[in-house]
Amino acid sequence: MPRFSLQKLVRDNIVAQQTREGALPTYRTLSGSELAEALVAKLVEEAREIPIDDANEAAKEIADVQQVLDDLKRILHISNETVAAAQEAKLAKNGGFQKGHYIESVDITDEDNFWTGYYRKEPAKYPEL
């Protein structure tokens, strides 16, 4: 059974989605200064994922951050409307970050599970334990 180390703050609905799909996430709920620190780390993580060659994908990452730098938007020629649309879609599907779910690792019971392929695409980011 594959197991991946995440050590990151995730959107509110991710734990429930993984559980519904047969994965077994190990997580804890952050609050206070610990949640604030995780949010700063999340901001840095998402900012590093903003592609400069694909405005639609950049809009999705900027929606994750929710705190967009005006200069970056101007350079990438991304409107506030594009960012707002992506943010609304992600909020509806995966939730926000208010619950503070931080997945430490996830055991996936099915090799063909969506999450197995997702994590294996980036082994440096999600090492298999």
pLDDT digits (tens, 9 = 90+) for 41-100: 877 888 899 899 999 999 898 787 755 445 445 565 778 899 899 899 999 999 999 999
Task: Report how far residue 46's alpha carbon sits from residue 38's, in angstroms, rounded to the nearest whole number.
Answer: 12
For 60, list phi and psi in degrees, rounded to 5.
-65, -45
Say which range, 26-35, 49-58, 106-115, has the weakest mean pLDDT: 26-35
Give residue 109's Cα distance to chain centre: 21
A 10 A CB-CB count for 97 gives 20
* DSSP letters for 86-106: HHHHHHHHH--STT-EEEEEE
